[in-house]
Amino acid sequence: MAARRITKSSINWQAMLDRVHPEQQSYFVAFKAKADNYLRRVMANPAALPKIDWAHYKKSVPVAGMVDTFQKQYESIQIPYPPDTMTASVEAQEKEVMAEVKKFVAESNTRITEYQKELDHLNSLLPINQMTMEDYKDAYPELALDGEKRPTFWPHTPEEQPGMEQRGEGSAH
């Protein structure tokens, strides 16, 4: 596999920065500076091995066959480019995560619709400080005092009603 020369970063740094928590942005900027420095150092090197004037060395070196041996070894140098073994698994993981994200967005939109209905209902009611007891009973029938169906004793708290045990008193040890 021939090595390919990377000429431009495929990372959208601005999109990544938009997702970084504000308290972590200084770390992200430092990371980006290191990545840019590394890319500059790599780009400073030539894409191919430098050409050598073998004829000049054959004239200058008195040992017969030495330059030919070096030339043969130099031209046979193959620097292996590491194989890409992770892209397929990352892309599969990305598909799974995107499916989960779409599901979460759909569920969230459903919840938003339900909450908006509740909010619209609450906004349609009279403000609490302007309600009468009858208005309160109409708006919140499960919470309002109902002397006919659920009679209670003053002060109308659950602890003061018949059948409620006092906390901490009369309990078996």
Alpha-carbon span 126 to 128, nearest angstrom = 6
Using the 8-state DSSP alphabet, how is residue 158 labeled? G
Instruction: For residues 43-51, give the mean pLDDT.
Output: 82
Q: Residue type at 51? A: K
- Judge contact between 52 and 74, C-beta under 8 A: yes
Alpha-carbon span 106 to 17, nearest angstrom = 26
Name beta bridge partners: 146: 150
What are the pLDDT digits (tens) for 109-151? 999 999 999 999 889 988 888 989 888 888 888 888 777 777 8
Q: Tell me the domain boundaries of the chain.
A: 128-157
Using the 8-state DSSP alphabet, how is residue 127 labeled? P
What are the pLDDT digits (tens) for 68-111? 999 999 888 887 878 888 989 999 999 999 999 999 999 999 99
Closest CA to 37 of 58, 56, 9: 9
| Tokens of residue 10, six digits | 């495929």
